[in-house]
Amino acid sequence: RSAMGPCALLALALVLLVLLALLRWAWSRGPNPFAADSRRPPAPVVTDKAARRAVLKAVFSADKIPAGLDAIVIGSGIGGLAAAVLLAKAGRRVLVLEQHGKLGGCCHTFSEKGFEFDAGIHYVGQMQEGSLARFIVDQLTEGQLDWAPMPAVYDAVVLGEPGRSKAYRICSGRKGYSDGLKEQFPGEVVAVEKFEQLVKSVSKGIVALGILKMLPLPLARLLCRSGLLPRLSPFCRMASRSLKDVVDGLTANAELRAVFSYIFPTYGVLPSKASFSMHSVLVNHYLRGAWYPKGGPGEIAFHTIPIIQKAGGNVLGRAPVQSILLDSQGRACGVSVRKGQDLVNIFAPTIVSDAGIFNTYERLLPAEARALPEIQSQLRMAKHGEASFSVFVGLNGSSKELGLEATNYFIYPGNNLDEIMKRYLTSSREEAAKNIPILFVTCPSAKDPLWEIRHPGKSTLAIVTFAKYEWFEEWKDEQVKKRGDAYEDVKKTFVDAIMQVVFKLYPHVEDKVEYISGGSPLTNQHYIASPRGEIYGMDHDIARMQAEAVAAVRPQTAVPNLYLTGQDVFVCGFAGALQGAFLCASAILKRNLYLDVLWLKKRTQATNNKKRD
pLDDT reading at 235 higher than 70: yes
pLDDT, residue 343, reads 97
Q: What is the mean pLDDT of residues 163-184?
A: 95
Within 13 Å, how many C-alpha atoms sit on residue 342's CB side? Answer: 7
pLDDT band at 391 (very low <50, low <70, confident <90, very high): very high
In the DSSP assignment, the letter for residue 5 is P
pLDDT reading at 46 higher than 90: no
pLDDT, residue 590, reads 94
State how far the Cα of 97 lies from the Cα of 268, in Å rounded to an integer: 27
Average pLDDT of every residue of the chain: 94
pLDDT, residue 386, reads 96
Q: What is the mean pLDDT of residues 122-142?
A: 96
State how far the Cα of 101 lies from the Cα of 197, in Å rounded to an integer: 46
Helix (H), strand (E), coil (C) string for 359-405: HHHHHHCCHHHHCCHHHHHHHHHCCECCEEEEEEEEEECCHHHHCCC
pLDDT band at 10 (very low <50, low <70, confident <90, very high): low
pLDDT, residue 502, reads 98
Angle of helix 189-204 versus helix 174-184 axis, rounded to 10: 150
Lowest mean per-residue pLDDT among 27-31, 34-38, 123-127, 502-506: 27-31
- Which residue(s) pair with 388 in the sheet? 466
Contact status, residue 355 vs residue 74, Cβ threshold 8 Å? yes
Query: When comparing pLDDT for 246 and 29, which is higher?
Result: 246
Termini Cα distance of the chain: 54
Q: What is the mean pLDDT of residues 216-221?
A: 92
pLDDT reading at 185 higher than 60: yes
pLDDT, residue 5, reads 54
Query: When comparing pLDDT for 308 and 219, which is higher?
Result: 308
Predicted confidence (pLDDT) per residue in 309-355, tens digit: 999 999 999 999 999 999 999 999 999 999 999 999 999 999 999 99
pLDDT, residue 247, reads 98
What are the helix (H) ranges across 205-275? 207-214, 217-225, 229-232, 234-238, 243-250, 254-261
pLDDT band at 14 (very low <50, low <70, confident <90, very high): low
Among 48-57, 207-216, 222-231, 542-551, name the most confident range. Answer: 542-551
pLDDT reading at 127 higher than 70: yes
Q: Which domains are seen in the chain, by residue range?
A: 14-143+299-382+553-612 (3.50.50.60), 151-288+384-528 (3.90.660)
Number of residues written out for the chain:
613
Residue-by-residue DSSP string for 566-607:
STTTS-SHHHHHHHHHHHHHHHHHTS-HHHHHHHHHHHHHHH
pLDDT, residue 2, reads 44
Lowest mean per-residue pLDDT among 21-35, 129-143, 341-355, 401-415: 21-35
Contact status, residue 65 vs residue 319, Cβ threshold 8 Å? no
Sign of CA dihedral 505, 506, 510, 514: negative
Q: What is the mean pLDDT of residues 83-104?
A: 97
What are the helix (H) ranges across 77-206? 78-89, 132-140, 174-184, 189-204
State how far the Cα of 150 lies from the Cα of 406, in Å rounded to an integer: 7
Instruction: Please give the radius of gyration of the chain, using alpha carbons only, rounded to the nearest integer.
Output: 24
φ/ψ of residue 315, rounded to 5 = -130, 120
In the DSSP assignment, the letter for residue 43 is P
Q: Return all residues near 379 (Cβ < 8 A) that are at least 6 apart.
A: 357, 358, 361, 362
Lowest mean per-residue pLDDT among 178-182, 228-232, 283-287, 318-322: 228-232
Contact status, residue 542 vs residue 239, Cβ threshold 8 Å? yes
Q: What is the mean pLDDT of residues 285-307?
A: 96
Lowest mean per-residue pLDDT among 16-20, 208-212, 370-374, 475-479: 16-20
pLDDT, residue 68, reads 97
pLDDT, residue 20, reads 61
Predicted confidence (pLDDT) per residue in 421-449, tens digit: 999 999 999 999 999 999 999 999 999 99
E strands of 262-373, at which residues?
A: 290-293, 314-316, 321-326, 332-339, 342-347, 351-353
State how far the Cα of 584 lies from the Cα of 400, in Å rounded to an integer: 43
pLDDT reading at 7 higher than 70: no
Predicted confidence (pLDDT) per residue in 548-559, tens digit: 999 999 999 999
